Structure 1
Amino acid sequence: MGIVLNQSLKNTIITYIGFGIGAINTIYLYPFFLGATYYALTNYVLSASSIIMPLLAFGMQNTLVKFYSQCKTEQEQSQFLSFTVLLPLLLSIPLISIGIFFYSAISDFLSKENPIVKDYLWLIPFTGLCMAYFEIFYAWARVHMHSVFGNFIKEVGLRSFSLLALIAVYYNWITVIQFVYVTAGIYFIAFIVTMLYAFYLKKPEFQFSVPHNVKDIMVYTFFIILSGSVATLLLDIDKLMLNQYIKIENIAYYSVATYIALVISVPSRAMHQIVYPITAKLMHEDKFEDLNVLYKKTSINLQVVGGFVMLCIFVNIKQLYEMVPAEYGGGILVVFMIGLSKYFDLILGNNNAIIFNTKYYRAVLFLGVILVFLTVGLNMIFIPIYGILGSAFATLLSITLYSLAKLMFVVKRLHLYPFTKQTLYSMALTLVLFLMFYFWQFPFIPIIAIALKSILVTLAYLYVNYKFVISIEINEVIDSVFKKLNIKL
């Protein structure tokens, strides 16, 4: 776990810095500087771009990680890298051409409830393609065990440039309309910078030749497109469907709530960057005992860290919503529902990495496709009745079912199990601390109340987790910190 802990720690710090910047943007700058309409419009464009990204990337970001370790020579590596970069570009051309041909019909359908989106729909394929190639070149860096720089660009760089653009809106250097276009430009810059870094790590010698194991690659890629589309649809389809049924401003209210809840998944995102290639290597070498140990460690470590984040959010949620415009207040229950779904997915550890590197992954992917239809159906039922709360409930139910399906697959097929008795202890401790602190309201301004309660929660959470030895690795980290500070427990 040395390299995992090292780069995961760096990635976690970077990701939380990025989420901190994003929190400033989301909770304050977007609502007050852009207003609900253009905040919602920006989120709609980015969500739609994320949905088409797996298709435009042709699954190569995952395919690169899985098959790169099988390249034995420099020649094979160059051929494979060239293939993963050039193939999506060739396949994107006809897809985008079809979109242009049917543009009028597509735009009329998507702008039926909110006509404002019509003039900005062309930004979706442009931004989606930038996202796709960013992920491909990020994977290029990750297979060379350099995940930190790409994570910095993704988590800190994008949000920092968005913050600067929001400041530009405030000072009237750009308009709210221009901000939407600037946002697309930021993703283009991120793609270019990551590409240059990937080339720095491994100088490319482009040669469009077909790898010897192209059949295995293409079969795997087809299912990765399905899996990527399923995961993205489950994450972003709610925002697109809100646009079809209710006023676009509701996307802004929903986006603030989901962003707050998404902070819970940060530890998983950070660890995944380095754990994924290690998981692929262990499975390729049939080291299932080592894999089972890694599975349990990632599960409990993510549960402890993610549980702490969730606890801090849930006990402070009322104060957080006192800091945003009053019309956003209906999103508190959305935070709870989306947050719980993220927590459950979090405690599955490197479950996704295991599934995507096994020969049995197809069955779960088809189940995921079924769940996408279920998600769409549930949103169609609940959004017209309950608005953003209906969409949150549909998302909670869908993601939970999908996570359960993936867990049962790994348990039944591979006989790997992520949970231990520490899992139950961690859940119980988190619940007890939530009940202790949620109803305890401090009579201070929101930011002071949040800071004070968070300090108390942190001390209590660290103490009980340390004393009950919920995670050996986290206890070792605490011990090393105390040793450096010359503090004896």
Structure 2
Amino acid sequence: MGIVLNQSLKNTIITYIGFGIGGINTIYLYPVFLGATFYGLTNYITSCANVIMPLFAIGMQNTLVRYYSQYKTEDEKSKFLSFTVLFPFLLIIPLLILGLLFYDEILFFLSKKNAIVKNYIWLIPFIGLCMAYFEIFYAWLRVHMHSVFGNFIKEVGLRLFSLILLIGVYYKWLSVEGFVYATAVLYFLAFLVTMFYAFSIQKPSFQFSIPENTKEILIYTFYIILSGSVANLLLDGDKMILNQYMHIENIAFYSVATYIALVISVPSRAMHQIVYPITAKLMHENKHDELNNLYKKTSINLQVVGGLVMLGIFVNINQLYEMVPKEYSGGILVVFMIGLSKYFDLILGNNNAIIFNTKYYRTVLFLGVGLVVLTIVLNMIFIPIYGIMGSAFATLLSITIYSLAKLLFVVKRMDLYPFTNQTLYSIAITMVLFLLFYFWQFPFHPIIAIALKSILITIVYVYLNYKFVISTEINAAIDLVFKKFKIK
């Protein structure tokens, strides 16, 4: 797992830097500089774009990763790369035409509760298209084992330039309305930069040729579209539904809470970039034992790292919310509910990569479609009653059920199992430390209190995980650090 650890470490560091910048934006800058209305609007537009992105990409980013290694000659690989870039236009063009034909109806539906949305509707497909081709060229880089650059653009670049734009709003170089349009430009630039870097890794030779295994690819692509739509609807669908029932400011309140909770999933996002193509290769070569070993390692490693992140968020959540405007404080319970759902998904390791590369993936994808319907129904039931809390509960219930279904599927069908005794020990350590630290408050400024408590909990958590050898790989990494600094 040398390359996995190497690039996963780099991706994790990059992703956390990005989330750190995003945290500054989310907690300090968006609420104050943009205000709840335009923060909610910006988040709504990008969330809608993320939901339609899988349709524009037609699943080519996953198809590219799965099938690229199966082509033997450089000519075959080049033709396949061309196919993955050009084929999405067969769906993009009809979708855009339909959007134009029914523009007035779409406009009325999306803006009936919040009229401010009306002037920015066209940005949704534009950003969705940029997101789609960014993901395709990012996959182009990943199959060549160059995942770090794309991850940097996605996690750091977009957030860093958003911070610069927010500073521009503060100094009145940019209006709040202009910020929304500038955000769309950022996604366009991210796509262009990633595309040109991908071309520098392997020069394109565009020719629309149909691969020999086209039928197999198209079937797989159809289900990947479903999968991507399911995942993105579970991630951002709640914000779309909130727009239909509540004033757009509530999307801002909900977005702050969900962003904080999403930090828990950072280790999974970082490791997935490099583990996915390795999983595809192991499955293609039918190396069951190696795959099972990888499954267990990714599960416990992510659980240890993700557990520390979750603890840091949960025990500091009250102090964290002291630093945002008071109207945002209703999102604390949202953080707990979304955070728990992310933690459960985290400890499943490379579960998604396994499912997407097996012939049995269709059953789970259809189940996912059913769960999206369930999510929508639950949101429609709970949002009018409990507001953003109802949306968080609907998301927690849906994601937990979906994650459990995927786990059972892999266990039963693939005879792969991610958990060991260490899984239970890790959960026990996390629960005990939460109970010890949550009710212990420092009487200092929130930033100082958060820093002190985070340092303490990190020391205790790392010590206990090291002492009980929860993860042999993490212990080996710690031993390496000790050896380097001659601590041990």
2:27 counterpart letter in structure 1: I
Residue in 2 that maps onto 1:412: 412
CA distance in 2, matches of 1:246, 1:208: 46
CA distance in 2, matches of 1:9, 1:329: 34
1:139 aligns with 2:139: yes
CA distance in 1, matches of 2:88, 2:121: 21
Give CA-to-partner distance per residue, 1:416-462, whole Å, 9 cap, x none.
00000000000000000000000000000100000000000000001
CA distance in 2, matches of 1:285, 1:426: 32
Give CA-to-partner distance per residue, 1:180-233, whole Å, 9 cap, x none.
000000000000000001000011111111011100000000000000000000
Aligned pairs for 1:147-186 (under 5 A) are 147-186=147-186
Residue in 1 that maps onto 2:379: 379
CA distance in 2, matches of 1:89, 1:150: 22
Residue in 1 that maps onto 2:102: 102
Give CA-to-partner distance per residue, 1:256-315, whole Å, 9 cap, x none.
000000000000000000000000000000001000000000000000000000000000
2:360 counterpart letter in structure 1: Y
2:209 counterpart letter in structure 1: S
SS at match of 1:45: helix
Residue in 2 that maps onto 1:466: 466
Aligned pairs for 1:16-415 (under 5 A) are 16-415=16-415
Return the offset for 1:100: 1.0
Aligned length: 488
What is the root-mean-square deviation in Å for CA atoms of aligned residues? 0.4
1:19 counterpart letter in structure 2: F
Return the offset for 1:94: 1.1
CA distance in 1, matches of 2:482, 2:430: 24
Give CA-to-partner distance per residue, 1:95-151, whole Å, 9 cap, x none.
111011101001101111101001101000000000000000000000001100000
Runs of 4+ in 1 over 3 A off after TM superposition: none
1:306 counterpart letter in structure 2: G
Give CA-to-partner distance per residue, 1:365-393, whole Å, 9 cap, x none.
00000000000000000000000000000
Return the offset for 1:74: 1.1
CA distance in 2, matches of 1:244, 1:215: 39
2:72 counterpart letter in structure 1: K
CA distance in 1, matches of 2:159, 2:80: 32
Return the offset for 1:335: 0.1
Q: Which TM-score applies when normalising by structure 2?
A: 1.00
Return the offset for 1:77: 0.6
> Which range is displaced more, 96-105 or 266-275?
96-105
CA distance in 2, matches of 1:350, 1:184: 32
CA distance in 2, matches of 1:89, 1:203: 21
Give CA-to-partner distance per residue, 1:38-89, whole Å, 9 cap, x none.
0000000000000000000000000000000111111111110000000112
CA distance in 2, matches of 1:448, 1:379: 38
Identity %: 78
2:369 counterpart letter in structure 1: V
CA distance in 1, matches of 2:356, 2:366: 13
Return the offset for 1:91: 2.0
CA distance in 1, matches of 2:59, 2:454: 40
CA distance in 1, matches of 2:90, 2:197: 23
CA distance in 2, matches of 1:439, 1:183: 40
CA distance in 2, matches of 1:89, 1:33: 38
Q: Which TM-score applies when normalising by structure 1?
A: 1.00
2:322 counterpart letter in structure 1: E
Residue in 2 that maps onto 1:444: 444
CA distance in 1, matches of 2:225, 2:306: 28
SS at match of 1:69: helix
CA distance in 1, matches of 2:352, 2:206: 31
CA distance in 2, matches of 1:162, 1:72: 42
Give unpaired runs (5+ residues) of structure 1.
none
Give CA-to-partner distance per residue, 1:316-341, whole Å, 9 cap, x none.
00000000000000000000000000
CA distance in 2, matches of 1:462, 1:77: 44
Residue in 2 that maps onto 1:476: 476
CA distance in 1, matches of 2:480, 2:70: 37
